[in-house]
């Protein structure tokens, strides 16, 4: 492995709502720590944006502690596009030769990262829950394996060492890290490029809507106690009233009453909302690891001995089908 230790490159994903995805700030914070361990290492980002939009994002980068941003502007970047993004990312990586490339394990990141790693013939540890630098200066990327029964720490023998990282496993920036960030404008060249696919239209599906868990401030999560799909409708109605997003346990997903894309926990998503309302959830450790860093946890459960009450800030012992409709009515009135 080469001794090039001087750059960690992050993918700065822009959301459909035209914000820098929160996972970028989480990766920026973690990368600052990794860079310190590596010594003499810069942290940079690659950004794809429509022309004249950089100003909208500059402030975020200036406060994120990033040393450099490589900016590619094109009309083609209105929507995420695997082929155009990966072509330019691969070219940039070949040019700057970063030691580490980190990408958020979002829908886009999970699509982009393997394209890049396979083109560069390098390893990719997907869906990581922790990152570190080992005593040999290698990226030590940890992720659950065997359905969550084991945590594996994986090293990559080739450069760059690549990983995708689940949103919310690292805390976001608590305070701004002001840096004199350098913005390097790059000119995308698609003159000889013949993409195999063309995006005609972006259609928002139920799955996209449900997948707002990453950035949700309030999550109303249901477990097996919700009992049925109709039970989940009660949760959805309550969530709508308080501007929340719904989540579920694996128990509920396995019962077929909630979609897999909203599963929270060891083999699902990790979330850190301001408020997490757990309804009909017992509090198994595999669920807790995905939500225990929520700022406030409220639990509703018929069983006063349910383990969820041990980590809840507020607990209500009772039937969620009595409590939630009453709360929904009360909130609607007010
Ligand atoms: C390798 C592995 C990985 C796993 N990964 C995950 C994961 O990512 N996420 C995850 O969630 N789980 C995961 N699990 C499963 C986990 O161990 C639990 O089985 C699961 O979280 C339990 O789901 P639950 O709380 O919905 O169900 P239960 O444990 O059955 O709890 C249901 C609760 O609902 C309460 N209840 C019933 N009726 C009502 C009512 N009307 N009102 C209020 N409360 C009511 C009951 O008192 C009970 O406490 C994993 C397990 C393994 C082995």
The CA-based dihedral angle spanning residues 319, 321, 325, 328, taken in that order and rounded to the nearest 10 degrees = 70
How far is ligand 1, taken at its centre, from the CA of residue 308, in Å?
Answer: 10
**β-strand 7-12 against 42-49: which pairing, if any?**
parallel
Please state the atom number of ligand 1 nearest to the C-alpha of residue 268: 8
Helix (H, G, I), strand (E, B) or coil at 183: strand
The predicted structure's pLDDT at residue 146 = 76
Quick: pLDDT tens for 105-133.
998 999 999 999 999 999 999 999 999 99
The predicted structure's pLDDT at residue 198 = 85
The predicted structure's pLDDT at residue 123 = 96
Spatial distance between the Cα atoms of 61 and 300, rounded to a whole number of angstroms: 40
DSSP per position, 253-309: HHHTSS-GGGBBSTTSB----SEEEEES----HHHHTTTTT-SEEEEEES-TT-THH
pLDDT reading at 5 higher than 60: no
Spatial distance between the Cα atoms of 24 and 142, rounded to a whole number of angstroms: 18
pLDDT reading at 67 higher than 90: yes
Q: What CATH homologous superfamily does 206-333 map to?
A: TPP-binding domain (3.40.50.1220)
Please state the atom number of ligand 1 nearest to the C-alpha of residue 303: 47
pLDDT reading at 243 higher than 60: yes
Q: Round the average pLDDT of the chain to a whole number and report it.
A: 92
CB of 85 sitting under 6 A from ligand 1: no
Cis peptide before 160 (omega within 30 of 0): yes
Q: Which residue has the higher pLDDT, 76 or 10?
A: 10
CB 209 within 8 A of CB 262: no
How far is ligand 1, taken at its centre, from the CA of residue 197, in Å?
Answer: 42
How far is ligand 1, taken at its centre, from the CA of residue 135, in Å?
Answer: 39
Mean pLDDT in residue range 296-317: 97
pTM, two decimals, is: 0.76
Q: Which CATH architecture has domain 7-186?
A: 3-Layer(aba) Sandwich (3.40)
Region at 320 (left for phi over 0; alpha for psi -120 to 50; beta for the rest) = alpha
pLDDT reading at 137 higher than 80: yes
Please state the atom number of ligand 1 nearest to the C-alpha of residue 149: 1
Pocket test residue of 145, 286, 290, 325 for ligand 1, highest count of atoms within 8 A of CB: 286
DSSP H/E element including 232? helix 229-241
Q: Any residues with CB less than 8 A from the CB of 302 and at least 6 apart, and which? A: 225, 280, 317, 318, 319, 320
Task: Break the chain into its structural domains and give their ranges.
Answer: 7-186, 206-333
The predicted structure's pLDDT at residue 1 = 42
Radius of gyration of the CA atoms of the chain, in A = 21
CB of 247 sitting under 6 A from ligand 1: no
The predicted structure's pLDDT at residue 205 = 66
CB of 225 sitting under 6 A from ligand 1: yes
Neighbouring-strand partners of residue 70 = 46, 184
Most distant CA pair in the chain: distance in Å?
A: 66
Quick: pLDDT tens for 226-239.
999 999 999 999 99
Do the two domains 7-186 and 206-333 of this chain adopt the same fold? yes
Q: Which two tokens stand for residue 153?
A: 């720490």
The predicted structure's pLDDT at residue 131 = 97
CB of 129 sitting under 6 A from ligand 1: no
CB of 263 sitting under 6 A from ligand 1: yes
The predicted structure's pLDDT at residue 173 = 75
């Amino acid at each position: 492995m080469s001794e090039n230790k001087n750059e960690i490159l992050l993918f700065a994903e822009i959301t459909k709502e035209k914000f820098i995805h929160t996972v970028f700030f989480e990766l920026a914070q973690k990368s600052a720590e990794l860079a310190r361990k590596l010594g003499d290492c810069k942290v940079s980002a690659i950004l794809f944006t429509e022309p004249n939009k950089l100003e909208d994002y500059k402030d975020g980068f200036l406060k994120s502690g990033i040393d450099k941003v490589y900016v590619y502007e094109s009309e083609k970047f209105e929507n995420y596009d695997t082929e155009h993004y990966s072509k330019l990312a691969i070219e940039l990586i070949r040019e700057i030769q970063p030691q580490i490339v980190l990408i958020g394990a979002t829908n886009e990141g999970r699509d982009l990262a393997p394209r890049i790693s396979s083109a560069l013939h390098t390893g990719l540890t997907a869906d990581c829950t922790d990152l570190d630098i080992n005593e040999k200066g290698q990226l030590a990327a940890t992720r659950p394996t065997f359905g969550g029964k084991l945590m594996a720490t994986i090293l990559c023998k080739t450069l760059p060492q690549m990983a995708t990282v689940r949103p919310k496993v690292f805390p976001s920036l608590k305070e701004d890290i002001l840096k004199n960030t350098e913005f390097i404008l790059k000119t995308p060249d698609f003159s000889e490029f013949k993409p195999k696919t063309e995006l005609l239209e972006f259609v928002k599906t139920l799955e996209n809507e449900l997948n707002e868990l990453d950035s949700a401030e309030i999550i109303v999560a249901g477990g097996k106690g919700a009992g049925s799909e109709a039970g989940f409708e009660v949760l959805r109605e309550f969530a709508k009233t308080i501007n929340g997003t719904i989540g579920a346990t694996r128990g509920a997903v396995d019962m077929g009453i909630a979609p897999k894309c909203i599963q929270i926990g060891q083999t699902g998503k990790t979330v850190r909302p301001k408020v997490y309302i757990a309804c009909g959830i017992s509090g198994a450790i595999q669920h807790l690891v995905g939500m225990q860093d929520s700022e406030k946890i409220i639990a509703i459960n018929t069983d006063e001995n349910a383990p969820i009450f041990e980590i809840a800030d507020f607990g209500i012992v009772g039937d969620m089908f009595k409590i939630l409709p009453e709360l929904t009515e009360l909130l609607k009135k007010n």
